[in-house]
Chains A and B, each alone.
Chain A
Amino acid sequence: MLVNSAVFGNLREVLAWPTSQSWPEDRPLAHWQRGSAAAFRAPPVGTAYGALLNHRAALAALGDAVHAAPYKAPPKAPVLYIKPRNTFAGPGDAIVVPAGVDELEIGATLGIVIGREACRVGEAEALACVAGYTVCNDVSVPHASFYRPSLRFKCRDGFLPVGPWVVAARHVAEPDALAVRVHLDGLLVQQTSTTGMQRPVARLIAEISAFMTLAVGDLLMLGVAAGAPRARAGQHVRIEIDGIGALENLLVAQCEA
Chain B
Amino acid sequence: MRGMKHARIAWGGAVRSAVASGGGLLLTDGTVLAEEQVVWLPPVQPGAIIALGINYADHKRELAKELTLSAKDEPLAFLKGPNALLGHRGVTPRPADATFMHYECELAVVIGRAATKVKRVDAMLHVAGYTVANDYAIRDYLENWYRPNLRVKNRDGCTVLGPWLVDADDVPDPHALELRTFVNGELKQHGNTRDLIDDVPALIEYLSSFMTLLPGDIILTGTPEGVVNVNPGDEVVCEIDGIGRLLNTVVADAR
Contacts and interface: CB of A to CB of B under 8 A. Distances in A.
Is chain B's binding surface mostly helix, strand, loop or mixed?
loop
Between A47, A148, A214, the greatest number of chain B beta carbons within 10 A of the residue's beta carbon is seen for A148
B39 interface: no
Contacts of B214: 85-86
A156 B155 contact: no
Contacts of A87: 211
A76 B81 contact: no
Interface in B24-69: 47-48, 50, 68
Contacts of B146: 52, 79-81, 146-149
Given A84-B48, A119-B156, A155 B145 contact: no
Given A47-B82, A119-B156, A212-B154, A71 B144 contact: yes
Between A156, A212, A218, the greatest number of chain B beta carbons within 10 A of the residue's beta carbon is seen for A212
Between B68, B150, B217, B255, the greatest number of chain A beta carbons within 10 A of the residue's beta carbon is seen for B150
A77 B149 contact: yes
Nearest to B148: A148
A157 B156 contact: no
Nearest to B216: A85
Interface string A61-80: 00000000111110111011
Between A84, A87, A98, A150, the greatest number of chain B beta carbons within 10 A of the residue's beta carbon is seen for A84
B243 interface: no
B48 A73 contact: no
A119 B156 CA distance: 9
A58 interface: no
Nearest to A218: B81
A157 B145 contact: no
Interface string A199-237: 000000000000111110010000000000000000000
Interface of A: 46-47, 49, 52-53, 69-73, 75-77, 79-82, 84-87, 98, 119-120, 146-152, 155-157, 211-215, 218, 257
15 contacts: A49-B150, A71-B144, A76-B143, A77-B141, A84-B48, A85-B47, A146-B146, A147-B144, A148-B76, A152-B209, A157-B211, A211-B151, A212-B84, A213-B83, A218-B81
